[in-house]
């Protein structure tokens, strides 16, 4: 009887450990990405589980102000890829040199240059609202976080094209009269799939 009780306790302990382990694995700790169709809601949730900001569509005045900053960022990013020189981007946005967390898509730029086909590119197109309107979040510290769900297209020397959908959060701060990007947080493949699932 004593052995039977010990066996029961052991089985119960193993069951509890397994249940806790399964529960931990199901917790989403990373970001989430995007659906191919526009969102019907004006609010777009994002990826950080601990304190997720909520993105809303900007007012007309905000859109004019923030979209200019987004286009400027993508212009310098495109030039960096086109010329295979990431310094073109980093010189404009020096804060992006720090704080890289590659497995979370934060300030991740090493893979943008030195690509085997980079010398075959002649042009880069980008559409900052190809999939969804820009979303904006006003942080308490005065920082602005923009969620951009667009498309990047590369034109090759033979005039074939390649490209990809892009979902990225841009962190902006005011410098004088202009907004500048201080941090980027790009959604990775697994995070993108999570985001799609969350929208369905």
Q: Which domains does the chain have, with CATH numbers?
A: 30-199 (3.10.450.540)
pTM for the model stands at 0.71
Which residue in 31, 50, 66 sits closest to 185, CA to CA? 31
DSSP line for 104-139: GTBT--TTTSS-TTGGGEEEEEEETTSSS--EEEE-
Residue 51: per-residue pLDDT = 55
Q: What whole-number distance in Å separates Cα of residue 162 and Cα of residue 145?
A: 28
Cα separation, 35 vs 196, whole angstroms: 5
**pLDDT tens for the 200 residues of the chain, in order:** 544 444 333 333 333 333 333 333 322 223 333 333 333 333 444 454 445 568 899 999 999 999 999 999 999 999 998 888 899 999 999 999 988 888 788 888 877 765 656 678 899 999 999 999 999 999 888 889 999 999 999 999 999 998 889 999 999 999 888 999 999 998 888 888 887 787 77
pLDDT at 158: 92
pLDDT in the model for residue 113? 65
**Token pair for 56:** 């809303």
User: Alpha-carbon distance 86 to 109, whole Å?
Assistant: 8
What pLDDT shows up at residue 193? Answer: 86
């Amino acid at each position: 009887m004593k052995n039977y009780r010990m066996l029961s306790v052991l089985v119960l302990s193993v069951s509890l450990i397994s249940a806790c382990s399964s529960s931990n694995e199901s917790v989403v700790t990373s970001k989430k990405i995007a659906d191919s169709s526009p969102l019907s809601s004006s609010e777009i949730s994002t990826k950080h589980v601990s304190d997720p900001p909520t993105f809303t569509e900007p007012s007309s005045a905000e859109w004019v102000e923030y979209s200019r900053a987004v286009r400027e960022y993508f212009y310098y990013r495109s030039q960096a890829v086109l010329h295979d020189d990431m310094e073109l981007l980093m010189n404009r946005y020096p804060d992006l040199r720090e704080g890289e967390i590659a497995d979370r898509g934060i300030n991740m730029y090493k893979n943008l240059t030195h690509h085997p086909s980079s010398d075959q590119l002649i042009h880069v197109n980008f559409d900052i609202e190809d999939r969804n309107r820009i979303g904006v979040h006003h942080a308490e510290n005065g920082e602005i976080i923009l969620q951009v769900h667009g498309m990047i297209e590369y034109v090759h020397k033979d005039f074939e094209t390649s490209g990809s959908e892009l979902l990225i959060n841009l962190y902006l701060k005011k410098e004088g009269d202009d907004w500048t990007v201080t941090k980027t947080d790009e959604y990775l493949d697994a995070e993108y799939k999570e985001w799609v699932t969350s929208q369905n």
